[in-house]
Amino acid sequence: MMNITYDEKNKIFHLCNEKISYVIGVLPNGHLGHFYFGKKLYGNLTEEMFIRRQYKSLTNYIGGYENLSLNTELCEYPTFGTTDLREPALMTKSENGSIITNFEFVDYDINKGKSNSDSLPHTFANNDQALTLDITLMDKTLSVKLVHTYTVFKNTNVVVRKTKMLNNGSPISITKIMSMSMDLSSNYSDWVQLSGDWARERHMVKRILDHGITKIESKAGSSGAIHNPGVVLTTPNTDESTGEAIGVNLVYSGNFEISAERDQNDVLRVMAGINQFMFDWTLMKGESFETPEVVLAYSKEGLNDLSHTYHTFFRHHLIHPKWINERKPILINNWEATYFDFDEYKIIEIAQKAKEVGIDLFVLDDGWFGNRNNDKEALGDWAVNKEKIPNGIDGLCKRINEIGLDFGIWIEPEMVSENSNLYRKHPDYIIGEPGRPSSKGRHQLMLDFSRPIVVDEIFNQLIQTFDGVNIRYIKWDMNRTITEPFSIGLSKTSQGEFYHRYILGVYDLYRRLSNRYPNILFESCSAGGNRFDAGMLFFAPQTWTSDNTDAVERLKIQYGTSLFYPLYSMGSHISDIPNHQTYRNTTYKFRNDVAMFGTYGFELDLNRLSDEEIKSTIEYVEQFKLKQQLIHNGRFYRIESPFTGNTTAWSVVNEDQTECLVGFYQVLARPNQGIQRLQLKGLDDSRLYEVKSSLYNGTVSGSYLMNHGIIFTPSSNGYSINRQTVGDFQSYLIHVNAK
Ligand code: GLA
- Confirm or reject: Cβ of 479 under 6 Å from ligand 1: yes
CA of 617 to the centre of ligand 1 (A): 24
CA of 477 to the centre of ligand 1 (A): 7
Catalytic residue, candidates 190, 263, 366, 547: 547
Q: Which among 692, 673, 632, 725 is positioned nearest to 312, based on CA atoms? A: 632
- Confirm or reject: Cβ of 183 under 6 Å from ligand 1: no
DSSP reduced 3-state for 683 = coil
CA of 605 to the centre of ligand 1 (A): 16
Residue 675 pLDDT: 85
Burial of 441 (0-12, 13-18, 19+ CB in 10 A): middle
| Phi and psi torsions of 442, nearest 5° | 45, 40
DSSP reduced 3-state for 428 = helix
CA of 170 to the centre of ligand 1 (A): 48
pLDDT band at 713 (very low <50, low <70, confident <90, very high): confident
Q: Which helix (H) or strand (E) holds 60?
A: none
pLDDT band at 186 (very low <50, low <70, confident <90, very high): confident
- Confirm or reject: Cβ of 527 under 6 Å from ligand 1: yes
pLDDT at residue 721 greater than cutoff 80: no
Chain centre to alpha carbon of residue 160: 15
In angstroms, the CA 669 to CA 666 distance is 7
Q: 377-411 pLDDT, tens per residue?
A: 999 999 999 999 999 999 999 999 999 999 999 99
- Section 328-355 average pLDDT: 98
- Section 37-57 average pLDDT: 91
Residue 717 pLDDT: 55
Q: Which helix (H) or strand (E) holds 306?
A: helix 302-317
**For the CA atoms of the chain, what is the radius of gyration?**
27
pLDDT band at 64 (very low <50, low <70, confident <90, very high): confident
Q: 403-456 pLDDT, tens per residue?
A: 999 999 999 999 999 999 999 999 999 999 999 999 999 999 999 999 999 999
Residue 196 pLDDT: 98
Residue 67 pLDDT: 83
Residues 6 or more apart from 410 whose CB is under 8 A from it? 335, 363, 364, 365, 366, 368, 474, 475, 477
- Confirm or reject: Cβ of 603 under 6 Å from ligand 1: no
Q: 233-285 pLDDT, tens per residue?
A: 999 999 999 999 999 999 999 999 999 999 999 999 999 999 999 999 999 99
- Confirm or reject: Cβ of 547 under 6 Å from ligand 1: yes
CA of 329 to the centre of ligand 1 (A): 20
Looking from the CA of residue 365, the nearest atom of ligand 1 is 10
- Section 115-142 average pLDDT: 97
Best of 366, 373, 557, 575 for a ligand 1 pocket test (most atoms within 8 Å of beta carbon) = 366
Nearest CA to ligand 1 atom 2: 527
Q: 642-655 pLDDT, tens per residue?
A: 999 999 999 999 99
Catalytic residue, candidates 139, 263, 360, 477: 477
- Confirm or reject: Cβ of 369 under 6 Å from ligand 1: no
- Confirm or reject: Cβ of 498 under 6 Å from ligand 1: no
In angstroms, the CA 540 to CA 712 distance is 39
pLDDT at residue 672 greater than cutoff 90: no
Report which of residues 307 and 66 the model is more confident about: 307
* CA torsion through residues 649, 653, 657, 662, sign: negative
Best of 479, 542, 599 for a ligand 1 pocket test (most atoms within 8 Å of beta carbon) = 479
Which parts of 94-246 fold into alpha helices (H)?
A: none
Do the bridges between strand 570-571 and strand 542-544 make them parallel or antiparallel, or are there none, so unpaired?
parallel
Q: List 417's β-bridge partners, or say none.
A: 444
Q: Which among 2, 602, 673, 50 is positioned nearest to 338, based on CA atoms? A: 602
| Three-state SS annotation for 593-639 | HHHCCCCCEEECCHHHCCHHHHHHHHHHHHHHHHHHHHHHHCEEEEE
CA of 478 to the centre of ligand 1 (A): 8
- Confirm or reject: Cβ of 477 under 6 Å from ligand 1: yes
Percentage of the chain beyond pLDDT 90 is 93
Note if 547 is an active site residue.
yes
- Confirm or reject: Cβ of 525 under 6 Å from ligand 1: yes
Q: 138-149 pLDDT, tens per residue?
A: 999 999 999 999
Q: List 736's β-bridge partners, or say none.
A: 660, 691
- Section 172-184 average pLDDT: 98
| Three-state SS annotation for 326-359 | CCCCCEEECHHHHCCCCCHHHHHHHHHHHHHHCC
Residue 686 pLDDT: 97
Q: Which among 458, 451, 378, 452 is positioned nearest to 416, based on CA atoms? A: 378
Residue 52 pLDDT: 83
Q: 449-508 pLDDT, tens per residue?
A: 999 999 999 999 999 999 999 999 999 999 999 999 999 999 999 999 999 999 999 999
DSSP reduced 3-state for 120 = coil
Q: 581-634 pLDDT, tens per residue?
A: 999 999 999 999 999 999 999 999 999 999 999 999 999 999 999 999 999 999
CB atoms within 10 A of CB 58: 4
The answer to whether the pTM exceeds 0.85 is: yes
pLDDT band at 715 (very low <50, low <70, confident <90, very high): low
- Confirm or reject: Cβ of 575 under 6 Å from ligand 1: no
Strand ordering across the sheet containing 573-575: 570-571, 542-544, 521-524, 471-476, 406-411, 361-364, 331-333, 601-603, 573-575
CB contact at 8 A, 486 and 450? no
- Confirm or reject: Cβ of 544 under 6 Å from ligand 1: yes
CA of 597 to the centre of ligand 1 (A): 21
Percentage of the chain beyond pLDDT 70 is 98
- Confirm or reject: Cβ of 412 under 6 Å from ligand 1: no
In angstroms, the CA 723 to CA 710 distance is 20
Q: What is the DSSP letter of 99?
A: -
Note if 428 is an active site residue.
no
CB contact at 8 A, 459 and 512? yes
Which amino acid type is present at position 199?
A
Residue 576 pLDDT: 98
In angstroms, the CA 223 to CA 21 distance is 30
- Section 289-299 average pLDDT: 98
Q: 78-103 pLDDT, tens per residue?
A: 999 989 999 999 999 999 999 999 99
- Section 156-160 average pLDDT: 98
Within a 13 Å sphere around the CA of 114, how many CA atoms are in the beta-carbon half? 23
Residue 723 pLDDT: 52
CA of 528 to the centre of ligand 1 (A): 7
Q: 214-238 pLDDT, tens per residue?
A: 999 999 999 999 999 999 999 999 9
Give the chain's mean pLDDT.
Answer: 96
Best of 335, 336, 341, 576 for a ligand 1 pocket test (most atoms within 8 Å of beta carbon) = 335
